[in-house]
Amino acid sequence: MSRSLPHPTRDQIELPMVLDCLGDPTRLGIVCTIAKADQAATQLRCGDFNAFSGKSNLAYHFAKLREAGLIQTRVVGTTRYMRLRRNDLDARFPGLIDTILKSAALDADRLQFPECELPGVE
């Protein structure tokens, strides 16, 4: 069974909320990891992020990311699948998400995001 959670429409995505959301290192790391998985056409589940934080903390971070319009969450049974809303973000703020992802990649050494075991992702 698949059910849907509330997501902001493209037009409802707000710049301060996006920046505020990514100002948290854990959420920034989650988004970088989802972006990497999207490029490899791999869809990640909530359980793939256990290295980032505890389960209830993760649920909070995923909700914040969804409410800011950064990720699309699909619920299938007890599993949640996440993908980056890249088209919507690019349409609202051209180049923004890519520039932030590149900045995070430049600082990978000091940000030290946990390594996830992502099937099909190097």
Query: What is the contact surface with a second copy in residues (CB under 8 A)?
Result: 14-25, 28, 92-96, 99-100, 102-104, 106-107, 110-111
Q: What is the SS3 assignment for 87?
A: helix
Residue whose CB is less far from a second copy, 47 or 95: 95
Q: Is the Cα dihedral 83, 87, 91, 94 positive or negative?
A: positive
Distance of CA 102 to the CA centre of its chain: 15
Q: Find the shortest distance in angstroms from Cβ 119 to a second copy.
A: 28
Q: Find the shortest distance in angstroms from Cβ 106 to a second copy.
A: 7
Residue whose CB is less far from a second copy, 71 or 80: 71
- Contact at 8 Å (CB) between 31 and 84? yes
